[in-house]
Structures are given as C-alpha cells and as structure tokens.
Amino acid sequence: MARKDALKDIRAVLIKRRDALRTALAGDLSKLNALKEQTAGDVIDAALDSAHNELNSQLAEVESRELASIENALERMRTGTYGLCEHCGERIPSARLHALPYATNCIGCQREMEKEGHAGAAGADWGRLLEPGDDADLTINDLEVDVS
C-alpha cells in the first residue's frame, strides 16, 4: 500500500476515534452533572460516589489528552506536516503511524526524549520523581495523580 493510501486510512481511523472520544466525553460530563444533583444516601454511598467521580475525572483527563493529540494529528494532515518527526524532521515510518496514529516523533527521537526524562506532549519529568540520593522504595501505589 502506498504511503498516501496508508495516510488516508489513518485519517479515517483518527476521525472515528475523535468522534468516539467527543461522544464519550460529552456523556461523562452529563453523568457527572447528574451525580451532583442527586442526594447522597449514607456515608458508604457517598464514599463510593466520590471514588466513582474521581475515576471518571481521571478517565476523562486521559481521553481529553488523546483527543487533543488526535486534533493535532488532523491539523498536521491539513498543513502537510503529518508523518514528519517534530524533533528531527525525518519521516516517521508508516508502521509507527499505524500503531500510534498521532505519533509526533520518530522512534529514535522518542527514545532519546524518554532517556532524557521528557514524556512528549504530557510534559512529565520522570527524572524528578525522586530526589537525588533518596533511597526510598517507591511503588506505583505511592504515586498520586493531580488532574486539576
């Protein structure tokens, strides 16, 4: 399949995913608003509702980031820069674009960024997770996610 045809297929996939995410996010917001209007039952119900709301909020944040990445990819398609690495300017292989249609970096540049502690669009600096010389054992359960 020619690269041009592959890009058309990827564009169709991105548009379907974008529309699905928009629908899901619109549904999540209406559900959250409906939950706010309901009166709480007992303390356990309130705790469960709070946990459910937090989970929905975190999922909506992840979906929002993916939606922004998809919108960026579609805009890059419109401007003719889709499929070019933002870091080095080389073409991103079609296999990578099929696996991650909104990839903005080639594999080499992405690996280099991750080694340096950059997470790309998310901007996380994993190098700052622990202070230098801190010998504490850290597990995934020790991490908190700030979605504000």
pLDDT digits (tens, 9 = 90+) for 30-89: 555 555 555 546 777 777 777 777 777 788 888 889 999 999 999 999 999 999 999 999
Burial (Cβ within 10 Å: 0-12, 13-18, ≥19) of residue 77: middle
Read off the tokens for 121.
């669009």
Give every CB contact of residue 120 below 8 A, 6+ residues apart in sequence.
104, 105, 110, 113
Give me the architecture of the 3-121 domain, per CATH. Answer: Up-down Bundle (1.20)
Among 93-97, 116-120, 136-140, the range with the most confident prediction by mean pLDDT is 93-97
pLDDT mean over 7-36: 77
* Per-residue pLDDT band at 146 (split at 50, 70, 90): low
- In our burial notation (b when 16+ CB lie closer than 10 A, e otherwise), range 27-59 reads ebeeeeeeeeeeeeeeeeeeeeeeeeeeeeeee
pLDDT mean over 121-132: 47
* Per-residue pLDDT band at 5 (split at 50, 70, 90): confident
pLDDT of residue 126 exceeding 50, the answer is: no
Q: What is the pLDDT of residue 121?
A: 44
* Per-residue pLDDT band at 142 (split at 50, 70, 90): low
pLDDT of residue 91 exceeding 90, the answer is: yes
pLDDT of residue 103 exceeding 90, the answer is: yes
Rounded to whole angstroms, the Cα distance separating 44 from 37 reads 18
